[in-house]
Amino acid sequence: MLQAKIPPTPSDLSLAGKTVIVTGANAGLGFEAARQYLILGASRLILACRTVGKGEEAISVLRADPQVKTSNPTAVIEAFELDLEDYQSGLRFAQRVKREVQELDILLNNAGIVVLSYRKTKSGHESTMQGG
């Protein structure tokens, strides 16, 4: 089976003026996606992370990135708590977004887990069904 080739990002693409939220943005693919959104000029980037401390660490790394420093030094980068194993955390996150984000242009639902056995979340739901 052959996968279709993905064309390169157009050189004139700009996300200036756009607000982006990336879940699981403090590490892995979520972090790299967040970095790319900044390089493309996103004006506001919200890292949705289980712990704000890890999100703040990721923000420091992003701000120090040479490409981000060159292409988008004035971007607003924030860390919002979002622990998908805790239903109440999801509700608090949604309420905060409604309160603080006028318009959301891009939402990348990246966060994920690997669960090898049955377990419940803090909210009492089976963890893979809740999205933790």
Distances (CA, A) of 1 to 4, 8, 130: 10, 22, 33
> What distance in Å separates the CA atoms of residue 125 and residue 95, rounded to the nearest whole number?
21
CA-based Rg of the chain, rounded to a whole angstrom? 16
Is the residue at 14 inside a domain? no
Helices (H), ranges, the chain = 28-39, 52-64, 66-71, 87-100, 127-130
What would the two tokens of residue 98 be?
């409604």
Is the residue at 85 inside a domain? yes
Q: Say which CATH number the domain at 32 has.
A: 3.40.50.720
Is the residue at 58 inside a domain? yes
Task: Report the mean per-residue pLDDT for the chain.
Answer: 90
Residue 33 has pLDDT above 90, yes or no: yes
Task: Domain count for the chain, please give it.
Answer: 1
Q: Domain span at residue 64?
A: 19-130
pLDDT one-digit tens code per residue, 4-32: 888 888 889 999 999 999 999 999 999 99
